[in-house]
Structure 1
Amino acid sequence: MTTDRDRIITPVTEGLLRGAADAERTARGLLPHRLPARVRPQIPDDQLATAESRPSGVRLVFRTRATVIELDALPTKRAYRGFPVSPDGAYDLVIDGVLTATTTVPGGRLRTLDPATQAVELEEGPPGTARFADLPARDKHVEIWLPHTETTELIALRTDAPVTPAPESGRRVWLHHGSSISHGSNAERPTGTWPALAAAQGAVDLVNMGFSGSALLDPFTARAMRDTPADLISVKIGINIVNLDLMRLRAFVPAVHGFLDTLREGHPTTPLLVVSPLLCPIQEDTPGPLATDVSTGTLRFKALGDPAERAAGRLTLNVVREALAGIFARRAAGDPHLHHLDGRDLYGAADHAELPLPDDLHPDPAGHVRIAGNFVRHAFAAGRPFAPPAA
């Protein structure tokens, strides 16, 4: 019988990671990042710094005959002041492509955000262990998907049989950029975010650059994507710019052109799908900024702008959709690999009637499933921009 003293310790290295831009060596172990080190000094705020360190779509990938797998990690969990602490982030175990088990890591740091002032407090806590046992005693392809909601330092990997790096899958790589919905807000598990679900259905390897609150046409994000190997690229543009009331129409249009130009520097003929915002009733025709609303005792969102100011260039989701359609029309003749998708084809009025947004901004887990299915139908199906190449 194997005992704890018989466990094999495998160093957690970048070679075991998929979906990360790079990984930072810390005093305890390895911290995956979704933006590369060369651009992180340009990050201007804590919102994006936190979002890019939360490893949505990042997973450990290896082969082993182990029946027990233990991963020591130090998570940084999240809470909103005045509300219960969010559930612990999930670690999903996928064996030979099948979700087999889910667990959490106790302990860790706690990051508490005050919704009213945006002040942050960080409380230190101990590392914990994600443990998977009673696994099939055969050679298998293993993926441990890390929590999309928690910054996660990886400390040690222990097994009762040797671990070897998994060979490259040979599947196409899909690079996606978007906002909190792409990051996975309100999804229950890392394999349940809509990009993860769509990647599984489309048989592609996901690199998720969806950053909660931070899909803002930042030039450094475009450069990071430009330099990331990819066979398919999608960018979901607009809602965060409206949320923050970040720019007017005059600045938005050239900023989109500049973002796409940068992507094309590194990926001149890669299929590139530009997706406009999903339906979000509070901002369809009302400009930002967006504010949190706790008057009902739950965390919800509301738009504070004046719809009359659309004439002065204030952005709403409908204004953004019209602008993106125009940008696509102007670029398409010179870029046959550029494609456009109205985000309401992923989540529109009928979807909202059946699966309303619980906080008026983000879908629930069933909404992620709906969005993924619609994306697969519009992007990966035959005749669509990401359709598999003919055999």
Structure 2
Amino acid sequence: MLTNNLIISTPIDTSLMRGFVELEKTTVGLLPHRLPVNARTQFSDPQLALIETETSGVRLEFKTSATTIEIDVLPTRREIVGIRPRPNGVYDLCINGRLERQQSAKSATILLTDMSAGTTVRKDGPLQTLRFDGLPSGKKLIEIWLPHNEITELCALRANAPIEPLPNTEKSVWVHHGSSISHGSNAKSPTEIWPIIAARATGMDLMNMGFSGNALLDPFTARAIRDRRADFISVKIGINLVNMDLMRLRAFGPAVHGFLDTIRDGHPDTPLLMISPIYCPIHETTPGPGMFDLKALAEGQTKFLASGNSEEVQTGKLTLTVIRQHLQRIVEERSSHDPNIHYLDGLMLYGEQDHARLPLEDRLHPDAEVHRLIGQRFAPLLQSRCRL
């Protein structure tokens, strides 16, 4: 019988990974991507280049009798001058579907951005080893969910018993696209993000295409969804279009139709759910762009404001209220020839009454309790594939 001092190294490859689109080989290991290379060549936004490599929904899955597991990782964290750094990313280790252990890497490569100067400085950090000791004996299913708010290069995997890839199964695949709320902003750990809460409650295999600040109806994202295997697809659109002040109403409708048309090119009959924005008071009737609340920053708090004017809605500027109205209309029109498309009002997941009880701490993103609330409310819809 193997002891804790005898560690077996297992190569990390696609057979052990879930929740990624591609694995890029780097000088130290493997870097999971959530957008394919053809999409990555079609944008020049450095933020999205970082965001799509943050490992929200990415995990290692395997069976083993090991009582000790080690992984070597090289994390990369983003920081902004003048803003309190986010908590270190968490690695959630689950056994047979139940959260068992949590760890964070003590050090990481830091990307420090000075927004006033428009510069980013990189400070390289060392390789980190995370060791999970004293795990229960016997054959078990292990999931190691990688941090949702960090870039994670996977360098090595070791255990004191053999590691076995999971056999191919017919597990249903859910592909979800959304904003930072779907990416996991302000959640405490990777398994506490609302899409992952819903996926774990229903046994769905989640591919999380939630990209902070980048749910913008990009054609390359629609093509990435089109090309993925999917038994259920959901698209949550609205908040980024408002707080980026990206487009006017004239462009919004055709962009939504084009996004959905592209998905339908690859998934003509797959259940497809369009989700409108959850409640967010600063943007309900006030257009963007959104901005940091400078007074709050001076007091060491991160909060957001809407800098638009409600009168600008008459000129075609978007608000969350406007987006909900038009998304519902678009889905209703399409449903006459597409019976598998559905609409969900985001206020059913988190509405005004919920906000009165559980306000958005930074005025934009849910906290851990609200993530749980949304995930629990969404799980029955996911279970039924909207066939209620």
Q: TM-score, normalised by structure 2?
A: 0.96
Whole-angstrom distance in 1 between the partners of 2:124 and 2:52: 20
CA contact (8 A) 1:115 1:292 kept: no
Give the RMSD, CA atoms, in angstroms: 1.4
Whole-angstrom distance in 2 between the partners of 1:376 and 1:61: 22
Whole-angstrom distance in 1 between the partners of 2:38 and 2:167: 27
Whole-angstrom distance in 1 between the partners of 2:334 and 2:61: 39
Q: How does 1:265-280 map to 2 (within 5 A)?
A: 265-280=265-280
Structure 2 counterpart of 1:187: 187
Structure 2 counterpart of 1:61: 61
Secondary structure of 2:221's match? helix
| Structure 1 residue 80 displacement after superposition | 2.4
Whole-angstrom distance in 1 between the partners of 2:104 and 2:52: 21
| Structure 1 residue 381 displacement after superposition | 5.3
CA contact (8 A) 2:4 2:68 kept: no
Equivalent residue for 1:326, pick from 326, 329, 337: 329
| Structure 1 residue 266 displacement after superposition | 0.5
How many residues of Structure 1 are paired with residues of Structure 2 in the alignment? 384
Structure 2 counterpart of 1:2: 3
* Paired AA for residue 191 in structure 1: T
Q: How does 1:189-208 map to 2 (within 5 A)?
A: 189-208=189-208
CA contact (8 A) 2:199 2:205 kept: yes
Structure 2: gaps spanning 5 or more residues: none
* Paired AA for residue 77 in structure 1: R
Runs of 4+ aligned structure 1 residues displaced above 3 Å come to 114-119
Structure 1 counterpart of 2:219: 219
Whole-angstrom distance in 2 between the partners of 1:102 and 1:381: 28
CA contact (8 A) 1:106 1:129 kept: no
Secondary structure of 1:38's match? helix
Whole-angstrom distance in 1 between the partners of 2:39 and 2:235: 19
CA contact (8 A) 2:90 2:146 kept: yes
Whole-angstrom distance in 2 between the partners of 1:343 and 1:50: 27
Whole-angstrom distance in 2 between the partners of 1:43 and 1:386: 37
Whole-angstrom distance in 1 between the partners of 2:233 and 2:240: 19
CA contact (8 A) 2:4 2:67 kept: no
Q: How does 1:1-391 map to 2 (within 5 A)?
A: 2-4=3-5, 6-116=6-116, 119-296=119-296, 297=299, 298-377=301-380, 379-380=381-382, 385=386
Per-residue CA deviation, residues 166-222 of structure 1 (Å, 9 max, x unaligned), is 123432111000000000000000000000001011221110000000000000000
CA contact (8 A) 2:15 2:166 kept: no
| Structure 1 residue 12 displacement after superposition | 1.2
Per-residue CA deviation, residues 350-381 of structure 1 (Å, 9 max, x unaligned), is 1101110010000100010011112124x135
| Structure 1 residue 164 displacement after superposition | 1.2
Whole-angstrom distance in 1 between the partners of 2:23 and 2:232: 23
CA contact (8 A) 1:106 1:127 kept: no
Q: TM-score, normalised by structure 1?
A: 0.95
Q: Relative to structure 1, is the Cα distance of residues 101 and 230 closer, same or farther in structure 2, using a 3 angstrom cutoff?
A: same
| More divergent stretch after superposition (63-72 vs 164-173) | 164-173
Structure 1: gaps spanning 5 or more residues: none
Identical columns (%): 52
* Paired AA for residue 341 in structure 1: L
Secondary structure of 2:23's match? strand
